[in-house]
Amino acid sequence: MTKQERLDQIKADIVTSNVCPDLASTATNLVFGDGNPNAEIVFIGEAPGKQEDEQSLPFVGASGKFLNEMLGSINMRREEIYITNIVKYRPPHNRDPQPDEKAEFLPFLQRQLAIIQPTLVVTLGRHSMTCFLPTAKISEVHGQAKRIQWGIGAVDGSKKSEKIIILPLYHPAAALYNGSMRTVLQQDFSTIPTILTLIRKGK
């Protein structure tokens, strides 16, 4: 099976496993992920919004447009990366994802990362950051790459622990209407090419 076929299987498993049925019942679509299954970078957001729910694609609203702008600023295109959310159904009224919802979806995120095997995982917002750095405060660690030991679901469904590199960033939505945070996010984003170069050299 190709990586894409294996990712498609995870998507099907979410439906057959009836993950977060209350969320599923209020959502229009499952928003699984989008992009290059061979990507060096995986971006992980929190949960889909209204437009994402309608189109069944992550980051297609205002936050997605800003993310595309920032990708352009480091000479990257959306097609080169992979992007997903922790929670894959839209929470009602765009409320924050709840701890039990994140916990239910976490094994499927682990399997996504096990298949893609990215060089760098960029978390967008505190909800996705705390899946990897549970005690961290985003105001203190944003823009700082962290090498951590993390349990990743193996392809056969078992668990293994691997070292992965996390770059916590603020969520684009938080920066859309806050000029100072927008500048911080753009500055943090601009470090991605350097971080990738350093990781490659370290391998």
In this prediction, residues 10-33 reach a mean pLDDT of 97
Q: What pLDDT sits at residue 154?
A: 43
**Tell me, what's the pLDDT at 156?**
45
Contact status, residue 41 vs residue 119, Cβ threshold 8 Å: yes
CA distance 101 to 88: 9
Strands (E), the chain: 34-35, 41-45, 82-85, 120-124, 146-153, 159-169
| Separation CA 97–CA 60 (nearest Å) | 19
Structural domain spans, the chain: 3-202
CA distance 45 to 28: 19
Record: fold of 3-202: Uracil-DNA Glycosylase, subunit E (3.40.470)
What pLDDT does residue 98 have?
95
Tens of pLDDT, residue by residue over 72-118, are 999 999 999 999 999 999 999 889 999 999 999 999 999 999 999 99
Residue 201: pLDDT band (50, 70, 90) is confident
* Averaged pLDDT for residues 107-134: 95
pLDDT tens, position by position, 144-179: 999 998 765 444 444 555 789 999 999 999 888 888
Task: Using the structure block, give the residue that is written with the tokens 């498993």.
Answer: 13
* C-alpha to C-alpha distance for 157 and 50, rounded to whole angstroms: 32
- For the ranges 9-23, 145-159, 176-190, the one whose mean pLDDT is highest: 9-23
* DSSP helix, strand, coil percent of the chain (3-state; round to 5): 50, 15, 35
Q: What is the pLDDT of residue 168?
A: 98
The half-sphere exposure of 117 on its side-chain side, counting CA atoms within 13 A, is 6
